[in-house]
Structure 1
Amino acid sequence: MRNRSALWPALALTAPLVLFLACAYALPFLGVALWSVTLPELGTGQYQRLVGDPLVLSVFLRTFRICLVVTVVAVAAAYAITYVWVRGSRLQRRILEICIFVPFWISLLTRAFGWLALLSNRGLFNSWMQALGLIDSPLALVRNEPSVIAGMVHVLIPFAVLPLASAMRAVDERVLLAARGMGASRLRIFWSVFLPLTLPGVIGATLIVFVFSLGFFVTPAILGGGRSIMVAELVYLRMFQSPDWGLGAAISVALVLIVAALMALLSRFAALALTGSGK
């Protein structure tokens, strides 16, 4: 009876959040799903077009390839930054705090144009290289996948730092001291003790970065210049420039379902890795 009496206040407190999520996410998604099977006519023709269209499939493959590279690079860079932030000197921590939190105050559009000003043919990098006599003509540093990856990594590193910092701060210092007292080197302590203890943060950062990167639109559109189109940009093109709302809706639904399946699979493997039950 006590558990039942405590259930109703909990439901009352969570009901507004559930209602908000339903109105903000569930209902719009159902509307898009309805478009995918009713526009321009009732049926699953748009999904058949999606599967049989080489352009759409190539965009999906490019998106997942870019997102995978971005995830690996961003999480690896964030791990090194977070390690210094958590375990560095006072001055190092203050400098890194500025570098981590200031980007949250700058819009994606501003950061994308910043990379464009840095890497374009007449940008700062090419101008300096030509002024120093290191190159004769500008290097093609934008409107390609590497520039898109660089811009996305820059945006997503701060998001990866936060779960990593939480995991690193939870590591018991006595465990590291015990390993050092048993004669382990610093490198051995890191690989055999510190890294496994921070694995939950690595998994959380990986999931956050990968999911966020799948929905990127502004950065790939500006830095890719139409040559490295990702799924979000393809949806925009189909919705507002073709216009082909049915196919755009089908692409959106397919992306959401693929992401949900991948997240469920990754969460399953993460649970097995953390509990050791998969051995």
Structure 2
Amino acid sequence: MQTLSNRTGAALFLAPLLLFLSLAYVVPFLGVAGWSVTLPEPGIGQYSVLLSDPLVQSVFIRTFRICAIVTLASVTCAYAIAFLWVRGTPLQRRITEFCILVPFWISVLTRAFGWVALLSNRGLINTWLQSLGFISEPLALVRNEFGVIVGMTHFLIPFAVFPLASAMRNLDERVLLAARGLGASRTRIFWTVFVPMTMSGIIGAALIVFVFALGFFVTPAILGGGRSVMVAELVYVRLFQSPDWGLAAAISVVLVLIVGALMALLFRTLKPAQMV
């Protein structure tokens, strides 16, 4: 009887949240899905275009390639930061924690324009390199995939740190001590014991970063300069610049389904409590 009462109470507490999520996400998604099969005429023609249009295919391929590179770079950098945050000295931990939290106080738009100021032809990096005589002509660091990757990686590193740090904190120190007692070097312990034991955090961080990267719009639009169009930017173009709402809706539905599949994989791999 008490169990039934507890379940009823939990359902009542969850009801407002479920209602909000339904109104804010499910209903709009169903509307977009409806557009994808009704505009400009009923049918699945827009999905056929999505599968056959070379432009749309190239944008999806570019998006997945950039997201894969960003994921690899972000998780690699985040692993080093999380390691220092968890296993560094108290001073190192405080400084690292401050550096992790500061980016959350700066908007994505401000960060993107900050990278433009650094990487543009007349930016600080090219100006310094030319003044020091290392290069004679400015390097093309923005309006291409390189600039997009740099900006996205910088934004996503903090999100990868938390699941990695959680996995590192949950390590059984006795295993590391046992490996050390058996004569293993620090390098061997790190690669053969420490890294495998934090694999759940690595997988979780990679999936989180990849899912976030799939929907990026502002950073690719500013740092890519229209030359490295990703899926989110293509949806915007199809909606507002060369109106084709049916195709934009079909692309959005496919992207949501991909994200949903990746999130399902994330929750099968990593428990939600391990992400914080």
State the TM-score, normalized to the length of structure 2. 0.93
Q: Does 1:200 align with 2:182?
A: no
Q: Residues 215-230 of structure 1: matches in 2 within 5 Å?
A: 215-230=215-230
Task: Report the CA distance between 1:213 and its aligned residue.
Answer: 0.3
Between stretches 174-183 and 234-243, larger displacement belongs to 174-183
Residue 266 of structure 1: how far off its partner (Å): 6.2
The secondary structure found in structure 1 opposite 2:55 is: helix
Matches within 5 A, 1:146-185: 146-185=146-185
CA–CA distance in structure 1, aligned partners of residues 151 and 25 of structure 2: 27
For residues 212 and 158 of structure 1, what CA distance do their matches in structure 2 show? 12
Counterpart mapping for 1:106-117 below 5 A:
106-117=106-117
Q: Deviation of residue 127 (structure 1)?
A: 0.6
Deviation at 1:87, TM superposition (A): 0.6
Give matches, 1:55-94, under 5 Å: 55-94=55-94
Alignment of 1:95 onto 2:95:
yes
> Which region of structure 1 is more displaced relative to structure 2, 254-263 or 231-240?
254-263
Residue 11, structure 1, aligned to residue 14, structure 2: no
Any idea what SS the aligned residue of 1:62 has? helix
Question: Is residue 2:124 matched to residue 1:124?
Answer: yes
Q: 1:101 offset after TM fit, Å?
A: 0.5
Cα distance in 1 for residues equivalent to 2:108 and 2:190? 35
CA RMSD, 1 decimal? 1.5
Bigger mean CA offset, 194-203 vs 63-72: 194-203
* Deviation digits for residues 149-199 of structure 1 (CA, Å, limit 9, x no counterpart): 111000000000011111111112232222212222112221222222212
Give the stretch that moved more between structures: 29-38 or 166-175. Answer: 166-175
The residue number in structure 2 matching 1:246 is 246
Counterpart of 2:9, as a letter, is: P
Question: Contact 2:204–2:266 at 8 Å: present in 1 too?
Answer: no
CA–CA separation in structure 2 for the residues paired with 1:55 and 1:146: 21
What is the CA distance between 1:263 and its match in structure 2? 4.2
Q: Secondary structure at the match of 1:209?
A: helix
AA aligned opposite 1:246: G
Matched residues in 1 for 2:179 and 2:213: separation? 38
In structure 2, distance between residues paired with 1:95 and 1:262: 33
Distance 1:220 1:39 in 2: 28
Question: Following TM superposition, by how much is the alpha carbon of 1:58 offset from its aligned partner in structure 2, in angstroms?
Answer: 0.4
Q: What residue is the counterpart of 1:20 in the other structure?
A: 20
Distance in structure 2 (CA, Å) of the matches to 1:163 and 1:46: 38
Contact 2:144 2:225 in 1 (8 A): yes
1:144 is the counterpart of 2:174: no
In structure 1, stretches of 5+ residues that fail to align are 272-279
Query: In the alignment, which residue of structure 2 is the partner of 1:275?
Result: none
Whole-angstrom distance in 2 between the partners of 1:52 and 1:178: 57
Q: Could you tell me how far apart the structure 2 residues matched to 1:186 and 1:146 are?
A: 35
Instruction: Give the alignment's TM-score, normalised by structure 1.
Output: 0.92
> Quick one: distance in 1 between partners of 2:180 and 2:116?
47
Structure 1 position 62, deviation (Å): 0.4
Structure 2 residue runs of 5 or longer lacking an equivalent are: 271-276
